[in-house]
Structure 1
């Protein structure tokens, strides 16, 4: 009895001491214990995702990849795999597992090592949300008390849901949803049993036991998980045996990018960061839907890439990137290891020249593939001397390549060919002219090499892309498309220049009085200067400012008429869209909407619409709404869509009649909350300029009678083959900047090509004996350097869509004029044509009959200074 009493006293004393110790420990750590109630409103860190308007993922930003899932969306075997491995008594204990703690303590006492963990799933949740991973006694005590609180606050399923969504599983993957994507490229519901077991084995050492870091350790750990599942009865003997036989198939899968559009992704990322800050933007789980159309974006990227490669190739081959060996050929493994040090991009791959015959070459890629480059992939590579001079066309592959060289190769969709990294830069942007939505945007040849977005950041001289706006000012002051402007040398210099600046045509040919339409179509320099003199410099600058150009970028001298202003491609395409939409200056935008992780829309685009709404009579609500919109103009015109869908019958529907077809409220321009773009030029002027810009592409006259002439963009008529397109070329002095801007009623597009270093000229090329008959050569220009990219893009972008016939708006009439004088004509032959006029501005006199000799409209066009 004495020993029993002593034993009892000792037991109760120890129990009391334990209670006191636990109580003391609790109150000691109490001030540092977090409020576990926050778990009820916990916000998991979810990366920012950016999409196209049609739901294609463009990019993902954020350090942690996470795909939050509800417990019912996770396969039961995957949950069982975690429970069997991490906490088999999870549904039985109250946050801590005494049996597990005792077992772990005994193992440590008997072996001196911590071989068995004692953390429950609840304790891991406590650590992951509130504590560090420091292995200290105080942290363990905090972990225990927090776990008890968590069990009191949440259900077991809620705890398990937090665990499987929060746990780090290696390779920046947090939670099982992200892990399934990272390691298998699958949704979690599509995982097999061995794949689930592999993921469930990762929490023990996610950085060192994942299959990317160590496949052998990952395989061993997977098999341990399968054994635990079998031991506790979650899988039967057959399932266990079959799963063990399966190989480890995990490989790294990056974010599932559907469309690579890095310049747009960066614009969207930057917007949200500036709006919410980096922390919230990168972890809040926001989805940004841009205005980009995935098909048009692919078309734009391909057109820009093809055009840059074409320019680069016609200027010659700059040679190898390095010499890998000269005498003894290294082993295949040694060569591939050297090649792997060079990153592939934009379809370009590093390769080593292994053999050269008369008209072929064999190269080895970094993957160890042996490829043959045929003569068609080599013959372009005449030697680059300068941007203005090339060597002779090669006659054999040995003229181009030497064994042991490292070169660039690419697949041009038909063959593998020798290539090189282009030095020239380019940009393309395309918008919907009726609301300003950016449908495609490529800010450069390679985001990998340069993140500089030339669409929005590069201000370059505009060249003859400015001329439509110069002529717009003149039309609004009284000129017509038939007005004769003297195409003659200018001998009176502009004193504002400070020097005797005398603009010239290129070629230096002058045809005397010439109609405005032809002067714009052939980009005749002296006519543009004289037109601006008619309007006045101040009036011209004011007109350009209306189109959205910054007055600070517009030089106050006559060089402005030839495009000395420096502007961005986005400003240019926005200005040109005004001609396509009936005279309205829309605001370009690229964010369609922004959603939270739960799908709530926190921002929705409210674009400016290119139309003037008309309220229904006796509707005070709509009338008040319209009067409060300071962007409205008091001009009753049809929307451009209404005009374009009107049959081309030679007559126009009156704007007010069309508006009265609306049953109630605001017309089809938009709803009560719609914003409307200001109408900066009349619908009639917009139509006249658009029609004149068609002549840039289609020319005019009668070729069989010797009076036919080309516009500067005649290649677009051959390549795009549509009559509803309008455009304008642009080339600056010494071909440092080249442009092509144009549109049809549904899409406006601008292309720029030049060097980032403005001091470099685009140069010229000589005829290549190895090139095709349709090759581009001589001086680079807007028509030849930027035009092909515009042609390719618009051809593909508009493919399958019907041509939209132009229908003159109200107030436009058509009369037959004499081509030589611009006056009315009684003739119906090749010496006359129908021309459009604003009613009241048409000529009233008839031309005097003359012979047709010496016709000034014969084409002498060539690539000129400001073409």
Structure 2
């Protein structure tokens, strides 16, 4: 009996050994058969997870994020332990014990397969899921499972457990375009992963099972059930206590969709970055390589530009009148309404359902009027709140008739609003105001004149409404913004700031048209011979026409192209002197920068540097620099003479190839620069009866500083309005007009409820675009010391007679000091009396301003 048992045992052992050898052989054969088709897992050592492109301001604020996949890669030590515990308890409780394949899980899956016929997924370890996610498809086949096992074993040999888990937690798709736990924390809760509660971590840990169908946004009930399963498993494995389990299980679902956490709203400049990155690197690489792009934009200046543009558009819109509600939901229909309103007042639920389907605009909120009293109205917003519109927020709303006509000022709120009106409201001066979506357009750009860095850019009212970037794409007629370039050309062709030009009507017969060209001043006033400084500062049209007749159209066009204007955009006729040329706001700002930087043409740029996903700089901007000291030092070095420049100038850090080209002389730029100050401050002596205003006098009242200058611009019938000017280390342009070139900006009349300084009569550069520029400069120049005038070499001053532009020996209000390029000052005296003061001076009195 014993011998028979021994024989049976021997046979069993032999059979098992043979079966084992056959199994090993089969596995070896299977491996040799599959091995050539297996990918190399060594790539996991250097894997680069697809991460979106992020765009930042110069001071590090996130402006935008581009890419289909949202991912925030985290190191293993940056992931909270409770979240790791939740994932392990749910997906692979023996992760740190097995070597890539869990035998217990395999046996369990086999039992399920034999007893039910289903292919269960319970056998997949986290390592096997990493293998599948990186190298395989999700098809449920035996051969894929075998490949998964072999790859998992190889991954375990190559990587540590922590590295494997880090890959898993950063790669997994967790719904709503979120890849990895870092992105999921932001998408669902708007917080960093280490700021989540236990219940929120359990929610994220349960997402890999069904991220699209069972996430807490799409199916909160199913997501909560899954979360509670995760918490239960954490309790079973001992990673949380019973009290922690009970507390977390009672938490409600608080997840909601959170977009990218934008710190600075600047969509137009962000889109410029996106477009350039795609052009440079290709769409796939740009969106998935994890580039961090740091722009030249400064957040404070960008915010100031946006606020100035919006406030100016709302102000223009308000003074032209109220166009009425968007629609009426109940009551009497509006005259132009296509649908019939309901007879019965809507319920709160109906109102909220209607409002939630309406897209917001910048600073505007949709609302429905509930009740109107004599001097106020109650409205409901999309979040269900009832707010009060005070009379001060309604009384501006006289009827809009046309762009040039408005109705009478209302006497009560009932003349403006009716219950059932769907309207727009915004906050202003701490209160809710009735408002409307502006129909007029605007653009604003500010840049550093020393290197061309764009500091602020707003391409329109609302990027969601229109992605058309008017700063870079809209070519509009310049109007009188062309005149500084005209007078710069005149200075190179025999004119000075004291040259007299006849301010008298022009009648020019055009044989081809059979009509006379009669350019007019605005206002239509003519004062006879007038000095160039005053002609530019007061934007006198007929003087500009006479100047271009003197120097010649071709001469001026040749000069204008030096400033970067395209010759094709410059009409070859005398109308160019009044601004018939069409350019973009960015081209205009670049050209004006020449007067602010001493005569150099800089190239605008907006990307300061680019970093890859590891933080390595792969691009750094190398802009051309406007540097008078460097130019002078280089000139002396090339001439071989000993430098006479100060030590700081001799040690200029910029090599020759980094210097911007100097297109006009420093002296020419200085004279125009100083004359543009007169556009704001005027001239003469008001107490002596010789005072006069420049066209931008409103800027002097708000800003109260003498180191600013600029130029207004208005085209025929006020279709385009401009203000472009400079301040210390900054040049900016504001444009306002309709996208429809045929539509005029119109005019307004006095509103008895308007502000004391309200704008009336015809729209113009000073009144329509100027306020945006003024407000921007007021905000960004706070705390910036006023700069004194530095007179360059080659400039002298002489006392001249205001009436004749000749030298004067008087020191009363009939004379003033003027700047001249050395050798161009007048030599003839206005009278023969002995001069009472030196004619030529190197210092200028405050009267110059």
* Both structures adopt the same fold (TM-score exceeding 0.5): yes
Residue in structure 1 matched with residue 658 of structure 2 by the alignment: 675
Distance 1:812 1:616, change over 3 A: closer
Distance 1:360 1:595, change over 3 A: same
Please give the residue correspondences for 1:6-405 in structure 2 after superposition, counting only pairs within 5 Å: 11=16, 15=20, 18-19=23-24, 22-23=27-28, 25-113=30-118, 117-326=122-331, 327-405=343-421
SS in 2 for 1:477: coil
Distance 1:785 1:113, change over 3 A: same
Residue in structure 2 matched with residue 812 of structure 1 by the alignment: 795
| Distance (Å, rounded) in 1 between the aligned partners of 2:757 and 2:87 | 66
Per the TM alignment, residue 11 of structure 1 is displaced from its structure 2 partner at its CA by: 5.0
Deviation string 1:131-172 (CA, Å, 9 cap, x unpaired) is 222223332222222212222222222211211111112221
Contact 2:630 2:654 in 1 (8 A): no
Please give the residue correspondences for 1:479-558 in structure 2 after superposition, counting only pairs within 5 Å: 479-493=495-509, 500-558=516-574
> Do structure 1's residue 717 and structure 2's residue 700 form an aligned pair?
yes
Deviation string 1:323-371 (CA, Å, 9 cap, x unpaired) is 2122211210011101111111201111111111112111111111111
| Distance (Å, rounded) in 1 between the aligned partners of 2:242 and 2:521 | 89
Name which of structure 1's ranges 483-492 and 497-506 shifts more when overlaid on structure 2.
497-506
Deviation string 1:384-438 (CA, Å, 9 cap, x unpaired) is 1111111111111111111112111111242111111111100000011111111
Contact 1:612 1:676 in 2 (8 A): no
SS in 2 for 1:423: coil
Contact 1:697 1:714 in 2 (8 A): yes
| Distance (Å, rounded) in 1 between the aligned partners of 2:632 and 2:497 | 37
Residue in structure 2 matched with residue 647 of structure 1 by the alignment: none
Per the TM alignment, residue 615 of structure 1 is displaced from its structure 2 partner at its CA by: 8.9
Per the TM alignment, residue 284 of structure 1 is displaced from its structure 2 partner at its CA by: 0.4
Residue in structure 2 matched with residue 692 of structure 1 by the alignment: 675
SS in 1 for 2:109: helix
Distance 1:499 1:130, change over 3 A: farther
Contact 1:50 1:59 in 2 (8 A): yes
> Do structure 1's residue 573 and structure 2's residue 583 form an aligned pair?
no
Per the TM alignment, residue 494 of structure 1 is displaced from its structure 2 partner at its CA by: 6.8
Structure 1 unmatched ranges of 5 or more: 628-633, 637-654, 851-867
Residue in structure 1 matched with residue 427 of structure 2 by the alignment: 411
Please give the residue correspondences for 1:630-645 in structure 2 after superposition, counting only pairs within 5 Å: none
| Distance (Å, rounded) in 1 between the aligned partners of 2:190 and 2:291 | 22
Distance 1:373 1:167, change over 3 A: same
| Distance (Å, rounded) in 2 between the aligned partners of 1:377 and 1:128 | 58
Distance 1:495 1:474, change over 3 A: farther
| Distance (Å, rounded) in 2 between the aligned partners of 1:458 and 1:211 | 45
Per the TM alignment, residue 553 of structure 1 is displaced from its structure 2 partner at its CA by: 0.5
Structure 2 unmatched ranges of 5 or more: 332-342, 834-849
Per the TM alignment, residue 760 of structure 1 is displaced from its structure 2 partner at its CA by: 0.9
Residue in structure 2 matched with residue 704 of structure 1 by the alignment: 687
SS in 1 for 2:474: coil
SS in 2 for 1:429: strand
| Distance (Å, rounded) in 1 between the aligned partners of 2:328 and 2:101 | 65
| Distance (Å, rounded) in 2 between the aligned partners of 1:740 and 1:615 | 31
Contact 2:443 2:471 in 1 (8 A): yes
Distance 1:706 1:672, change over 3 A: closer
SS in 1 for 2:803: coil
TM-score scaled by structure 1?
0.90
> Do structure 1's residue 559 and structure 2's residue 546 form an aligned pair?
no
Name which of structure 1's ranges 545-554 and 191-200 shifts more when overlaid on structure 2.
191-200
Per the TM alignment, residue 4 of structure 1 is displaced from its structure 2 partner at its CA by: 6.2
Per the TM alignment, residue 208 of structure 1 is displaced from its structure 2 partner at its CA by: 2.7
Distance 1:708 1:591, change over 3 A: same
Per the TM alignment, residue 502 of structure 1 is displaced from its structure 2 partner at its CA by: 3.0
Deviation string 1:556-611 (CA, Å, 9 cap, x unpaired) is 00001000000000010111111111111111111100001111111101111111
SS in 1 for 2:214: coil
TM-score scaled by structure 2?
0.92
SS in 2 for 1:816: strand
| Distance (Å, rounded) in 1 between the aligned partners of 2:687 and 2:632 | 54
| Distance (Å, rounded) in 2 between the aligned partners of 1:403 and 1:843 | 72
Contact 1:497 1:557 in 2 (8 A): no
**Which residue, 464, 476, 479 being the options, matches 2:480?**
464
Contact 1:444 1:454 in 2 (8 A): yes
SS in 1 for 2:86: helix
Contact 1:433 1:745 in 2 (8 A): no
Per the TM alignment, residue 527 of structure 1 is displaced from its structure 2 partner at its CA by: 0.5
| Distance (Å, rounded) in 1 between the aligned partners of 2:369 and 2:817 | 62
Distance 1:495 1:543, change over 3 A: farther
Contact 1:765 1:779 in 2 (8 A): yes
SS in 1 for 2:65: strand
Deviation string 1:260-281 (CA, Å, 9 cap, x unpaired) is 1000100111111100001101
| Distance (Å, rounded) in 2 between the aligned partners of 1:615 and 1:764 | 48
Per the TM alignment, residue 6 of structure 1 is displaced from its structure 2 partner at its CA by: 7.5
Residue in structure 2 matched with residue 750 of structure 1 by the alignment: 733
Residue in structure 1 matched with residue 819 of structure 2 by the alignment: 836
SS in 2 for 1:361: strand
Per the TM alignment, residue 614 of structure 1 is displaced from its structure 2 partner at its CA by: 4.7
Contact 2:361 2:437 in 1 (8 A): no
SS in 2 for 1:686: helix
Residue in structure 2 matched with residue 658 of structure 1 by the alignment: 645
Contact 1:823 1:847 in 2 (8 A): yes
Residue in structure 1 matched with residue 837 of structure 2 by the alignment: none
Name which of structure 1's ranges 244-253 and 317-326 shifts more when overlaid on structure 2.
244-253
Distance 1:786 1:117, change over 3 A: same
| Distance (Å, rounded) in 1 between the aligned partners of 2:712 and 2:221 | 62
Residue in structure 2 matched with residue 736 of structure 1 by the alignment: 719
Over the residues paired in the alignment, what is the CA RMSD in angstroms? Answer: 2.4
Distance 1:734 1:478, change over 3 A: same
Q: How many residues align?
A: 817
> Do structure 1's residue 797 and structure 2's residue 819 form an aligned pair?
no
